[in-house]
């Protein structure tokens, strides 16, 4: 047998995929013929790319604009992204600080490889998206999960960061809004975290891939407003609904660009040229109007879903202010969210996501529901769950 690298010992399996595979197998069975499976476990918008974006991709193919690009991305796209920050957030971001990547995953990998040494500790909240800690581990760093309660919106605060900071701590990796909770860090608290990390000579990386899907003005502010040393990770997958196009970007301090570019040249060469050409159309007024209509639809789904969950004993202690997830406590119905998920899969034909992947502190109490499905699908799912749980949706 081939010997695998020891770093794999620190990369945990993606247990959620076991649930997804089980749900897909059950969905293909005769049992689901009359009552198809409803998938609320997938973190993917049910919308696809806007019409102008698809047309731009077709033009790029017809015109043969399919060659390699600069590792940092095509200049027009970096300029459009900078213009987006100016329009949306009132921030003047130099396009030279923007690096276009092969999805937000590539951006997180590049940031971790550029900043994390072997044995460096990186603080992050528990719960959080599992791949984020695995990016740290893949760079031979040590992810340190700090329990984050509903009282603190399932997010870190400056006091917690300061208390946990040790000799080996190198920085923090945050997400606002967060997957799986849909909650954001209050801008003032974000500022305090950045100041605290800066005072200790560390880095602050903020995953902002759901920032475009913020539903409250208070939480819709980019962490980039707190200084040019903040590293922001973003994506065309969520707000812009380009999940399969694998296109993202990162905003980094100017001094870090050469290091990121060198890594990108060697690891990825460049992001998809067709996706980059298509993404230029994301910022057209007609496209933005469509995205805003969709954002309003996601908010309406949230407003319908959360009260229905609360009514059936799946309490959501913090109303999501962004993304398209609800983090619900299932302990009133089961001791294990893993068992609860499989039970609802079989009895209600509704696929959910257990908390196991997202943390280690009390994860067995929680399930994540995605409201990226249509309103009709969500309402049917709530009725099925309520029936299975003997409650009213």
- 110 and 165 within one domain: yes
Residues 6+ apart with CB under 8 A from 279: 53, 56, 77, 80, 236, 240, 242, 245, 247
- 111 and 42 within one domain: no
- 294 and 205 within one domain: no
Q: Which CATH number covers residue 375?
A: 3.90.1150.10
pLDDT at 257: 98
- 14 and 88 within one domain: no
pLDDT at 4: 87
- C-alpha 311 chain-centroid distance: 27
Q: What angle do CA 265, 203, 43 make, to 5 degrees?
A: 70
Task: Identify the domain containing residue 15 by its residue range.
Answer: 10-48+287-389
Pairing type for strands 169-175 and 353-354 reads unpaired
Looking at the structure of the chain, the number of domains it has is: 2
Q: Decide if 186 contacts 218 (C-beta within 8 A).
A: yes
Q: Is residue 67 part of a domain?
A: yes
Q: Which CATH number covers residue 121?
A: 3.40.640.10
Q: Is residue 248 part of a domain?
A: yes
Choosing from 282, 304, 321, the residue where a domain stops is 282
pLDDT at 13: 76
Choosing from 282, 313, 334, the residue where a domain stops is 282
Residue given tokens 């997180």 in the structure block: 108
Q: Is residue 2 part of a domain?
A: no
pLDDT by position in tens, the chain (length 393): 788 888 888 887 777 788 888 899 999 999 888 899 999 998 888 899 999 999 999 999 999 999 999 999 999 999 999 999 999 999 999 999 999 999 999 999 999 999 999 999 999 999 999 999 999 999 999 999 999 999 999 999 999 999 999 999 999 999 999 999 999 999 999 999 999 999 999 999 999 999 999 999 899 999 999 999 999 999 999 999 999 999 999 999 999 999 999 999 999 999 999 999 999 999 999 999 999 999 999 999 999 999 999 999 999 999 999 999 999 999 999 999 999 999 999 999 999 999 998 998 889 999 999 999 999 999 999 999 999 999 755
- 266 and 306 within one domain: no
Q: Is residue 24 part of a domain?
A: yes
Q: What angle do CA 362, 364, 379 make, to 5 degrees?
A: 120
- 294 and 277 within one domain: no
Residues 6+ apart with CB under 8 A from 174: 124, 125, 155, 156, 185, 190, 193, 204, 205, 206, 207, 223
Q: Is residue 266 part of a domain?
A: yes
Q: Is residue 316 part of a domain?
A: yes
Q: Decide if 60 contacts 276 (C-beta within 8 A).
A: no
- 65 and 39 within one domain: no
Q: How many residues does the chain have?
A: 393
Quote the CA–CA distance of 210 and 238 in Å, as a whole number: 6
- 120 and 88 within one domain: yes
Q: Decide if 199 contacts 171 (C-beta within 8 A).
A: no
pLDDT at 392: 54
- pTM for the whole thing? 0.95
pLDDT at 150: 95
- Mean of the per-residue pLDDT values for the chain? 95
Q: Is residue 5 part of a domain?
A: no
- 119 and 195 within one domain: yes
């Amino acid at each position: 047998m081939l010997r695998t690298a020891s770093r794999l010992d620190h990369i945990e399996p993606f247990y959620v995929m076991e649930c997804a595979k089980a749900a897909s197998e059950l969905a293909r069975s005769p049992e689901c013929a009359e009552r198809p499976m409803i998938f609320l476990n997938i973190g993917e918008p049910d919308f696809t790319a806007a019409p102008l974006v698809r047309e731009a991709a077709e033009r790029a193919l017809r015109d043969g604009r399919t060659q390699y690009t600069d590792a940092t991305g095509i200049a027009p796209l970096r300029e459009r992204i900078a213009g987006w920050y100016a329009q949306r957030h009132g921030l003047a971001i130099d396009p030279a600080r923007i690096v276009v990547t092969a999805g937000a995953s590539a951006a997180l990998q590049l940031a971790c490889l550029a900043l994390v040494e072997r044995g460096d500790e990186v603080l992050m909240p528990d719960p959080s998206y599992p791949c984020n800690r695995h990016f740290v581990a893949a760079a031979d760093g040590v992810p340190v999960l700090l329990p984050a309660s509903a009282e603190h919106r399932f997010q870190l605060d400056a006091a917690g960061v300061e208390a946990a900071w040790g000799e080996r701590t190198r920085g923090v990796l945050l997400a606002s809004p967060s997957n799986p909770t849909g909650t954001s860090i209050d801008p003032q608290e974000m500022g305090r975290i950045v100041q605290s990390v800066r005072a200790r000579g560390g880095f602050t990386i903020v995953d902002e891939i759901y920032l475009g899907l913020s539903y409250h003005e208070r939480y819709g502010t980019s962490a980039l407003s707190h200084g040019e040393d903040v590293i922001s990770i973003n994506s065309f997958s969520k707000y812009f609904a380009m999940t399969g196009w694998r296109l993202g970007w990162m905003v980094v301090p100017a001094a870090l660009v050469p290091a990121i570019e060198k890594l990108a040249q060697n690891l990825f060469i460049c992001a998809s040229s067709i996706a980059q050409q298509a993404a230029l159309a994301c910022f057209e007024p007609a496209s933005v109007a469509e995205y805003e209509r969709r954002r309003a639809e996601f908010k309406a789904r949230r407003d319908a879903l959360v009260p229905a969950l609360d009514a059936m004993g799946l309490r959501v202690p913090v109303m999501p202010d962004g993304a398209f997830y609800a983090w619900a406590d299932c302990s009133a119905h089961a001791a294990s969210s893993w068992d609860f998920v499989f039970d609802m899969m079989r009895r209600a034909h509704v696929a959910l996501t257990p908390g196991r992947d997202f943390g280690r502190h009390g994860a067995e109490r929680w399930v994540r529901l995605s409201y990226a499905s249509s309103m009709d699908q969500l309402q049917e799912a709530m009725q099925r769950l309520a029936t299975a749980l003997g409650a009213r949706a």
